[in-house]
Structure formats: C-alpha cells, structure tokens
Structure 1
Amino acid sequence: MSTIIVIGGGIIGLLTARELAQAGADVTLIEMGTTGRESSWAGGGILSTLRPWRYAEPVTALVQWSQRRYPELCGELFERTGIDPEHSRDGLLIVDVPDPAPALSWGREHEMAMETLDGSAIRAAAPKLVHESECALWLPDIAHVRNPRLIKALRRANNRAVRIREHQEVVELLVSDDRVAGVRTHTGVHHAETVVVCAGAWTANLLEQLGRPPAIAPVRGEMLLFHADPGLLSRIVLAGEHYAIPRRDGRILFGSTLEQSGFAKTTTAEAKELLHEQATTLFPMLRRMPIGGHWAGLRPSSPSGIPYIGAHPGIAGLYVNAGHFRYGLTMAPASAHLITDLILGREPILPPAPYGLDAPR
C-alpha cells in the first residue's frame, strides 16, 4: 500500500485525499489551518464558469466532467454524513449579453442547454431584478452547492479513511536523490513515497524551494451575505462582473471582487460599499435586508485559469493539483480524479497534457 501525503485541506485537497483513499492508498492530509476555511469556504459555490464560452477548452473539460459527477457526489456525502451540501439546479441567468451568437454556438458544440430571453422573459425569470437588458442568456442546468456544508460533509466523510492533521504548516518538502521523501512541518517530519501539493494560493511559495514554481498567485475576493426571505430570488443571476446566488433558506450571496493584494485576506470598507451598492441597484429589495456577513478569500490564480494537475518535472513522486483560480469548487471532482489517475497509473479521465506543470498557458 502506497503512503501518500496531501498538502492542503480545501476542496481540492479533501477530494484528492478521498479519491486516493478509496483506491486503497494510505493517505495523510496536512492543513496549515482548519480544513476548508480558505477559498473553498469563501466562494459562492456556483458549479460553472460565469461565462463558459470564454474559457479555454482544458477548463471546460474539467468543469463539464465535474458537473456530471456532482449530483451523485452530494448524494453520497449526504447519505454517509447526514450533511446536505444542498446541490440545487436553479439555473444561471446572464443578463448582459449584447451578442449571444458566440455563446449559443459554444452551447451547441458542448451540448449545454442555453437560450436567449428578451425583456419580458427576463422580468419573468427574475421579477426582483432591475436591469436594462434587451437580451439575456438562460442556462437552466447550472447548479450551485452550499460550499461550507459540502466541505463539512467531505471532512466528516474523510475522518475514517484519511488521517487529517490540522494546524500544521508544511515548511519544507523533503527530497533525496531527486525523489520526494516526505515533508517537514513545525511539529516534525512526515515520511511518504508520494506528496501531492494542493495548497491553493500558497502552492508556488511551497514549491519555490525546488525551482521552477508554477505561476500561481493569490487574488483576493470579497463577498456579502444578505438575510432575505425564501423565494425572493430563485435562480443565479450574473450581471456584469457581479452575481447573486440564492440559498434554500432565503439567504442571498452577492459577489465578488478581484483584488491584487498579496496574501492580505482582510476585508475592506471600499469593497463592502461597492458590493452593497451593486447588489441593491440590481435588487432594490435588498435595501431592506440585513447584511449577514462580509468576508474575503484568496483565490489561486493561474495563466488562462488552467490549473496545474500533474507530476513535478524534476522530482519523482511529487505531484501538484492547484491553481484553479475562481473555480476550484467547480473543477474539484474532475481534478481530484485526474491527479489520482496519474499517481496510480490508471487510464486518465481526460488528456492530462494541458494541465502539466510545463504545459503552455
């Protein structure tokens, strides 16, 4: 039985550890803080890229494989743990699409349901929305999950199959004769035959000691949560760069910002004011709703948004699964399955070349 260490306890690390353990590997997951409390917790949980026709094919391939897997995964986790990730196929309404032809062509090519709506149909789809749009796109099959619950369910499901070590920061990757030998944390050394780095925005810092780190950098995103009544919003709405996501209990998430701030994860009054202004302009009824939360997370950006999934080119036994930018949750099932295929020598679910650490992006 192979001994594997997974570094990072976000959605990518948790699902990677789960896939490896289910395949029979002896897995330890090491997380510098609390599992699932970074970008996996901070995001909105939309299981799609926001304008899918604009993304590179390697991103689309991961997203579509994951979209097919998510209903079954959420059902498995609910049955096993009693925690409902709230997979909800509410659909995505994109209200500012002046030229829908490229999107519709992309939708036909990728077999994604997509249709145009005019002014009256837009108002019928989102009665509380105030927006001057003559043409919108409706994607009825797009779903979202309640990401904190998904993370909690995964953490509980992994309890028996994976050793989870929280609040242990990996400070060094141990290498001997160009082969990984384990990791060093503040509390000691952990030996392993294989190490998988799933450290999100912190991945490049960890790999820098070995040279040629991937081009992954943190991008801060801030979100607002409104306490609203159930039914006020029944679908995901995207307008410009901002989106609103309904939860089953009536809460509405509104996001997000894109801020180059290094590893500073603090929220700002400016971002809160901007998000509130945008939210209440699009949905005036939110002016009467109390703000239930304001938080920030650090997304692991990468060139063209294409994550790094594969073996380190110079160190045997060292793998990377990181750099998913805004869509770690969206691409997680496929990414975890693909890296497990590569580690165990199985037939990969997708051609792995575009995700290699040296692949052009």
Structure 2
Amino acid sequence: MSDYLIIGGGINGLLLTRELASAGADVILIDKGEFGREASWAGGGIVSPLYPWRYTPAITALASWAQAFYPQLALALIEESGIDPELQVSGLLMLAAEDAEEALRWAALNKRNMEKVDASYLSRREAGLAPGFDSALWMPDVANVRNPRLIKALVRSLDKRSNVSLKSHTELIGFCCRENRIIGSKLQSGHQETQLKANAVVICAGAWSAEVLKNLSGPLKIEPVKGQMLLFKFKQQPIASILLHGGRYLIPRRDGHMLIGSTLEYRGFDKSPTPAAKQSLLDSAYKILPMLKRHKPVAQWSGLRPAAPEGIPFIGKLEGFENLYINAGQFRNGLVLAPASARLLADELLGGTPILDPRPYRPGARTNEASSV
C-alpha cells in the first residue's frame, strides 16, 4: 500500500508529488493522458496574477509565497533534471490601467515593487508600442517561465525517485469506499483494470475535478473555462517585457517566441481552437504592438482552466471522508499558485505547520455555502 495516490498530473499534482516524496512518502501519481498536457501546458507562464490588486487576499497570499519560491525551484530542477524551465524576470507593464491609484495602494500595503510610468518611459523601454499609451503600471520583478519545460523538468526529476511511481494514460474509473474511507481506487490503463490502495487519495484533476468527485462529495463548483493562445516566432525578440492591456497579454520568450493570450470562454469541455478566437487575439495584439500585422502566428492552441468561485482554489480534506483531499480550482493562476498550493496541502497531509492560514481554501465550509444558496 502506498502512502498517497494523486489523481491528475498537471502542475498541482506534480508539485504535490514532489513535496510528499521529498518528505519520504511513497507516492503514486496518475494521469489519464500525458503528464501536464492540459492547462499546465497551455498557459502563458506568467508568475503573477494579471492585475494582482483585483484579487482577494487569499489569492495574494498564495501568489506571494509562490513567487518568492520559484527561483529556488527552478534552480533545483535544473540540477535534478538537466532541463532549464527558463524562469526569467522580464517585468510586467500594465498599459492604461484604469484603477492605477488603487493598484499603487495595494502595492504599498503588500510591499510589492510597482510604479506608474509615463509615455516617455514606455517609448524608451518598448519602442514598438502602439501610439496613445500615456501611462502604465510597471512591476519590474514579475517573471515568466516556459511552462512546458517546467513540466518536463518536474516529470524527469520525479521519475528518478525510487519512492515515486508515475502512471500516465491511466484513468480513475471509481472508488471503493467503506464507511467514510476510500479503501481502493479503480484504475484503467488501456484494456487493463487494476485496483490500488493508498492511505490517502488527493484529487488534482484540474477542470475535471468536480466530475471525478460528482458521486462522492457535496456540491463542488469547479467548471472548465477555455483559454486560447497564439504563438509568434521572431529572429530577434521585439519586446522586453510582458505587456498587458484590456486583459490580453504578450509574453516574450528567450528564444524569440512570443505568446499572445488569452480568451475566456465558458463552453464546457470543448477545447477546440477557433478562427474567431484567433482573430480576436490578433486584434488585441495589434492594438498593443502594431508590427505584428506584418507577421503570422506559427501556432494556436487552447486549454481548459479549472475555475472555482473567485478563483480561490479548494485545498484540503473533503467533507465526509477521512482520507480524501483536493487541490484544484486555481482558474487563471494555476502556475503561479501551484508551489504554494502544493506546500499548503503537503503541510496538512504530513502534519506540518502550514505556510499560510488554510481556512480560506478549505472545501468543507465553501461546499456548505454553495449547498445553502
């Protein structure tokens, strides 16, 4: 019997596996496809919430811890896996933010490096910007990471550990329950069905988490929200910073790639890229960086974000069971919140002192609220 069975091998499942295995636990991690190939792979990799002052303190707390942790995580993964996640501090320029004064108050309160810059500064830093941007909010410490490389580094690192078993293309098809405990998990890989036993089971299934739990727990609101992205490739990177305007962003990569994102579409589990979304993203990008009109995107893709109410993830034990837990619902901030989400749940599972107050993320109180509405 293993100590932990983790359902879902995206960024949350991978990092939780890392935390538990580093403490000496035996961990089995399964995913119905390849590890990390859903929202974790599809996102932009910005290590900050967009317009961070507009989020609740619960999001700010997780993001602050994770942002401080990312540099040491990236260095450790390079050493362990030989893969560089390419964490780079590019800074974030939020163009023409309407609530700039509120943002600056938030930054002062939370000790964040943010300043308001004028058109002269913008023209010096980003010469290709469209005319008409008179001001922006500048956060120079914001980083971005190549999330596919981050996923590959985590998988390779975990695969080397003797106390970790990675099972891709393995789907959970049911639970065996006795009173208030999960005593077995039924899995299917190809045509083969097996049953695994673990002391505790953790659901990290992203947008599919509510589906996995629909016959077990009370109402747990996590819904899929499609996000579509475009990719450009340049011989020389035309921007130095992450550029954000009207909720759409441009992200520079070291190798000349530029990501354009993203849409917010409530269309169930359909993640097909569409021509309409492509044109919408291009129109937004042209308003920020007109030179893009002379180039064509080299790729388009989409992913499904797991959206919990207010974007506050569910982290902790599920009501009604002694050994069933969840870490899901990070919505647009899955990558930036993942290290803190994993550590917070690992603290609970291992009996450690929590890095943050766990109460805002506990599923029990929030599912009770949902069922009483």
The TM-score by the shorter chain falls in which range?
over 0.9
Distance in 2 between the 1:39 and 1:131 partners? 34
TM score, norm. by length of structure 1 = 0.97
How many residue pairs get aligned? The number is 361
Q: In terms of mean alpha carbon deviation, does 183-192 or 152-161 score higher?
A: 183-192
- State the partner residue of 1:180: 182
1:276 counterpart (282, 287, 309):
282
Q: Is 1:219–2:225 an aligned residue pair?
A: yes
Distance in 2 between the 1:310 and 1:26 partners? 19
* 1:131 to partner: Cα distance: 4.7
Question: Could you list the per-position Cα deviations for residues 226-276 of structure 1 after superposition, in whole angstroms to 9, with x for gaps in the alignment?
Answer: 012333111100010100000001110000000011001111110011112
Q: Which amino acid aligns with 1:8?
A: G
Distance in 2 between the 1:151 and 1:88 partners? 16
Question: Could you list the per-position Cα deviations for residues 318-346 of structure 1 after superposition, in whole angstroms to 9, with x for gaps in the alignment?
Answer: 11000000111100110010100001111
Which secondary structure state, in structure 2, belongs to the residue aligned with residue 175 of structure 1? strand
- State the partner residue of 2:216: 210
Distance in 1 between the 2:325 and 2:217 partners? 14
Residues 35-54 of structure 1: matches in 2 within 5 Å?
A: 35-54=35-54
CA RMSD between the two structures: 1.3
* 1:288 to partner: Cα distance: 2.5
Distance in 1 between the 2:131 and 2:27 partners? 50
Which secondary structure state, in structure 2, belongs to the residue aligned with residue 210 of structure 1? coil
Distance in 1 between the 2:219 and 2:240 partners? 43
* 1:81 to partner: Cα distance: 1.1
Which secondary structure state, in structure 1, belongs to the residue aligned with residue 40 of structure 2? helix
Which secondary structure state, in structure 2, belongs to the residue aligned with residue 321 of structure 1? strand
Distance in 2 between the 1:21 and 1:39 partners? 24
- State the partner residue of 2:351: 345
Distance in 1 between the 2:50 and 2:233 partners? 24
Distance in 1 between the 2:9 and 2:311 partners? 21
- State the partner residue of 2:260: 254
Given the superposition, is the C-alpha separation of residues 344 and 301 from structure 1 closer, same or farther in structure 2, using an over 3 Å criterion?
same
Q: In terms of mean alpha carbon deviation, does 150-159 or 351-360 score higher?
A: 351-360
- State the partner residue of 2:239: 233
Which secondary structure state, in structure 2, belongs to the residue aligned with residue 164 of structure 1? strand
- State the partner residue of 1:92: 92
Work out whether residues 114 and 140 of structure 2, in 8 Å CA contact, stay in contact via their aligned partners in 1: yes
Given the superposition, is the C-alpha separation of residues 304 and 59 from structure 1 closer, same or farther in structure 2, using an over 3 Å criterion?
same
Percent identical: 48
Q: Which amino acid aligns with 2:21?
A: A
Question: Could you list the per-position Cα deviations for residues 153-206 of structure 1 after superposition, in whole angstroms to 9, with x for gaps in the alignment?
Answer: 000000022201111111213321211223112222111110010000000011
Residues 76-115 of structure 1: matches in 2 within 5 Å?
A: 76-115=76-115
* 1:2 to partner: Cα distance: 5.8
- State the partner residue of 1:34: 34
Q: Is 1:16–2:16 an aligned residue pair?
A: yes
Question: Could you list the per-position Cα deviations for residues 42-66 of structure 1 after superposition, in whole angstroms to 9, with x for gaps in the alignment?
Answer: 0000000000100000101000100
Distance in 2 between the 1:121 and 1:163 partners? 51
Which secondary structure state, in structure 2, belongs to the residue aligned with residue 152 of structure 1? helix
Work out whether residues 265 and 298 of structure 1, in 8 Å CA contact, stay in contact via their aligned partners in 2: yes
Work out whether residues 90 and 235 of structure 1, in 8 Å CA contact, stay in contact via their aligned partners in 2: yes
Distance in 1 between the 2:99 and 2:314 partners? 32
* 1:282 to partner: Cα distance: 1.8
Distance in 2 between the 1:25 and 1:88 partners? 32
Return structure 1 stretches of 4+ with deviation > 3 angstroms. Answer: none
TM score, norm. by length of structure 2 = 0.94
Q: Which amino acid aligns with 2:157?
A: A
* 1:80 to partner: Cα distance: 1.4
